[in-house]
């Protein structure tokens, strides 16, 4: 699946704010290194924040 830039940034913000994120979207973010799983909880990585701010 592919999402546009605004939706990609929204995924990162949802993770950062502790909101529920669809599993496919979470998998996308983890696969690209934007999010890691920390004790079953997703956490935005530095790469994720760089991507967020670049958009």
Which string of b and e fits 17-41 if b means at least 16 CB within 10 Å? eeeebeeebbebbbeeebbeeeeee
pLDDT cut 90: percent of the chain above it? 87
What pLDDT, on a 0 to 100 scale, did the predictor assign at position 13? 97
Query: What tens digit of pLDDT does each residue of 25-51 get?
Result: 999 999 999 999 999 999 999 999 999
What pLDDT, on a 0 to 100 scale, did the predictor assign at position 19? 97
Q: Tell me the C-alpha distance between 5 and 37, whole Å.
A: 22
| C-beta separation of 34 from 44 below 8 A | yes
pTM exceeds cut of 0.95: no
CA distance readout (Å), 31 to 24, 25: 10, 10
In the chain, where the domains are located? 5-54
């Amino acid at each position: 699946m592919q999402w546009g830039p605004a939706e990609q940034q929204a995924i990162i913000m949802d993770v950062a704010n502790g909101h529920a994120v669809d599993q496919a979207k979470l998998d996308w973010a983890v696969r690209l290194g934007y999010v890691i799983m920390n004790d079953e909880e997703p956490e935005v990585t530095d790469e994720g924040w760089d991507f967020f701010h670049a958009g």
